[in-house]
Structure 1
């Protein structure tokens, strides 16, 4: 995944997004989980028997959005309605434990607290039981909720409306909140529901999913993506939005603004549970925008965060450490982000080693990358968690191999290496040998091809002296850049003879 300014994104995450102050309004829920094992089918009916091992409860719905924001380091106030019941009390307790303000959370005897109970057997969701009401709030209760929210708007850096269509965010309340927020200069971000998006008129940004967008546009559920995105631009203009971000499931996200359409492909991750992924996406997006990140970088970060939580079971919470780990997972960032200067590499090494990861180092010219190179690098990567490739600059290649080499310039060679999944970082060196680079990196494992003898490997003594290990890897037979070049020259000469 590509970021326009990866350094600024990392800095924002590390700084807790500047501890910006956000207000979240929406439908509050308590998510309950029954965890157990399934080993047999019931003799009473053809259904699995869940042997219950434990029960957990977390804040859900708009409260889960607030929970994610608080975990990312923001100051969060939550507004909504709970019932005067045990579930409502437990939800307030969970919110208090997360450090979320609840002065605008009202309780009422006129409706119960929305509760979703999920049965999880052998790491798979088997059943969900919903206990909820989706009727609009009575007029007096809605007025009381607005009165509790309005004084806080001027003190907040953003308003986030999390609409689960359970009756709290009526069209009237949405419009009053949006107008009051914009009058205070407070941006409004909306996670919408329903077919009628006119209630979000004047918001800064909305984040429908593909189905929600299709319904709002009056299109079928199988509408092609180009038609959806074109319709999204018309919707953005008609609602007076600065931007619209549509979440596309396995296809990632797309940003639609005045500059056009920008896709953000999904990350290749195994999906265990999509519960709360939308909450995480809007939370990360709002946090990033509140911290002043560019819109495209904010969407890319939200896409990254959503990719993390779908790999977990339950209504997952994302924190800054999760985001940083994902940012540092070089399979999740653009290949260009793997090409580093030595100072930038040393900074990244600190993060990797703090996570207990073993560093593997190898080096070479890698002119005309071929299957032998790929096999060699894949084997090298298996000896640790991170593989760093030291790459000779053009000048050092010429000094080693003569004035006709390299055939590919250093920028191209670095780019091709960085595209390999086995490679975590590429760093250029201009010296005749990588010895100084090895001394700076201090890899746990130094790798070279088995065509070298141990005493011939530059840096081997250095690495073994501090407890590292030298590994010599067998090479694929009859695979070499020199052989490729010789074959190309032979073809070229044969062509010249034929032409004459």
Structure 2
């Protein structure tokens, strides 16, 4: 039987570190003036957990929620080379946390983005993904993904089949019943239990309260306490992994490294005790190597805005939020003719909104030759947007709209019947998100090439 992916479920944040120097105070108030030297970006929350899991196993899929904004775009760019992403619509801005540091010391933190997962009632692609998983890590950051009722039902079903590791958050929800391992840190465990107790008592109390197979309370440099149905044991940091007492380490992301390493070990068949021992060592080495800062990058470049692009993704999020049916189609649409109009009208009749994925000028040249397109992409987009059947247009540069469809996740992808479904490489992306591919008959006698020839 083919092994499925390790699926990471949770809230993703954009973490930004602004490093600079501070050698003077502001004249208006006794606060330091930071001269910025450089800025670093990285995926945080479940995004960080997914990237860390990808260090330990080859097939990782992140199920998260991202907004239609610059922070969401940057997270997509930071994640796409290492992790496959199934992004659900976010109601509000993508959360970001900006740490201002001078001389390596934190000065302040600026938080932006209040987005939470929309009220998701169903999603066939999500359900199919979790059914295919051979392991699950829930990285809950209290912003709605892990507390959504539909997602929790899918996670509860997964916990009956495969190991589920749950890294809880005080503002989030309790783990679903039957999790193989829950991984609160010591301060979180006290808040969940409602009173301060020794770590071993906290682990045993929460294991019963959460109906989990085991709970590991993490203790930073002191390792972790693991309680299962038979015993409570200590997992200590190996001597060779300890950070010198003279060093004040950055521990940002240590909990994500612990839970991701444990999830990867269970995914690979380790026992729970073995997984926790491996996770303690992995977290210690991660902190010694610079913690989450070691995964930071300079701000990734974003594509220039295109005609119609912001409204296309905003429209998709709104349609899905109200349980509507999103339809998409794509092509060059160079010199609009009755055949195009017939296709667009049929496509629009299949759902509540139609998004047209439009080949850019360079993409058309690669497909049709140097003499095409006849009309530029802005002109073609303007004509399409003027049609009653079209609700939004988004332009793409690639040979096929696969990356675009991975973000839009339409319920229906429509193409003309002059294609066979086997010829459409984007069909697999559409089906992975739970959508269907529909081929409609073309109107005989009409094509742009034929019009140009005439």
* Superposition TM-score tier, normalisation by shorter sequence: 0.5 to 0.7
Question: For the structure 1 residues 116 and 198, does the alpha-carbon distance in structure 2 shift closer, same or farther, using more than 3 Å as the test?
Answer: closer
Structure 1 residue runs of 5 or longer lacking an equivalent are 1-17, 319-500
Task: Provide the rounded CA distance (Å) in 2 between the counterparts of 1:252 and 1:93.
Answer: 34
Matched residue SS, 1:160: strand
Matched residue SS, 1:153: helix
The alignment status of 1:268 with 2:235, answered yes or no, reads: no
Question: For the structure 1 residues 279 and 198, does the alpha-carbon distance in structure 2 shift closer, same or farther, using more than 3 Å as the test?
Answer: closer
Task: Provide the rounded CA distance (Å) in 1 between the counterparts of 2:17 and 2:172.
Answer: 32
Task: Provide the rounded CA distance (Å) in 1 between the counterparts of 2:13 and 2:172.
Answer: 23
Q: How far off its partner does 1:275 sit?
A: 1.0
Task: Provide the rounded CA distance (Å) in 1 between the counterparts of 2:187 and 2:150.
Answer: 24
Task: Provide the rounded CA distance (Å) in 2 between the counterparts of 1:281 and 1:126.
Answer: 27
Question: For the structure 1 residues 316 and 260, does the alpha-carbon distance in structure 2 shift closer, same or farther, using more than 3 Å as the test?
Answer: farther
Matched residue SS, 2:109: strand
2:177 to 201, 213, 218: 201
Task: Provide the rounded CA distance (Å) in 1 between the counterparts of 2:221 and 2:170.
Answer: 22
1:47 to 18, 26, 31: 31
Task: Provide the rounded CA distance (Å) in 2 between the counterparts of 1:276 and 1:181.
Answer: 26
Matched residue SS, 1:116: strand
Matched residue SS, 1:203: coil
Q: CA RMSD in A?
A: 2.4
2:153 to 176, 186, 189: 176
Task: Provide the rounded CA distance (Å) in 1 between the counterparts of 2:94 and 2:281.
Answer: 32
Map 1:434-453; keep pairs closer than 5 Å: none
* CA deviations over 1:236-284 (Å, ceiling 9, x no partner): 1343322111111232211111231111234531342111111111011
Question: Which residue in the other structure is 2:389 paired with?
Answer: none
- Is the Cα contact below 8 Å between 1:244 and 1:256 reproduced in 2? yes
- Is the Cα contact below 8 Å between 2:135 and 2:267 reproduced in 1? yes
Question: Which residue in the other structure is 2:230 paired with?
Answer: 259
Question: For the structure 1 residues 194 and 134, does the alpha-carbon distance in structure 2 shift closer, same or farther, using more than 3 Å as the test?
Answer: farther
The alignment status of 1:123 with 2:99, answered yes or no, reads: no
The alignment status of 1:32 with 2:9, answered yes or no, reads: no
Map 1:1-400; keep pairs closer than 5 Å: 21-97=5-81, 99-102=82-85, 104-108=86-90, 110-133=91-114, 137-139=117-119, 142-144=120-122, 146-170=123-147, 172-173=149-150, 175-183=152-160, 185-194=161-170, 198-219=174-195, 223-225=196-198, 228-266=199-237, 268-269=242-243, 270-313=247-290, 315-316=292-293
Q: How far off its partner does 1:143 sit?
A: 2.5
TM-score by length of 1: 0.54
Question: For the structure 1 residues 264 and 55, does the alpha-carbon distance in structure 2 shift closer, same or farther, using more than 3 Å as the test?
Answer: same
Task: Provide the rounded CA distance (Å) in 1 between the counterparts of 2:147 and 2:292.
Answer: 25
Matched residue SS, 2:6: strand
User: Greater CA radius of gyration, 1 or 2?
Assistant: 1
Task: Provide the rounded CA distance (Å) in 2 between the counterparts of 1:299 and 1:162.
Answer: 17
Dislocated runs of 4+, deviation >6 Å:
none
Pairs aligned (count): 288
Question: For the structure 1 residues 134 and 204, does the alpha-carbon distance in structure 2 shift closer, same or farther, using more than 3 Å as the test?
Answer: farther
- Is the Cα contact below 8 Å between 2:200 and 2:226 reproduced in 1? no
Q: How far off its partner does 1:167 sit?
A: 2.0
- Is the Cα contact below 8 Å between 1:174 and 1:200 reproduced in 2? no
Q: How far off its partner does 1:314 sit?
A: 6.0
Q: How far off its partner does 1:175 sit?
A: 3.1
Q: How far off its partner does 1:90 sit?
A: 0.9
Q: How far off its partner does 1:172 sit?
A: 2.3
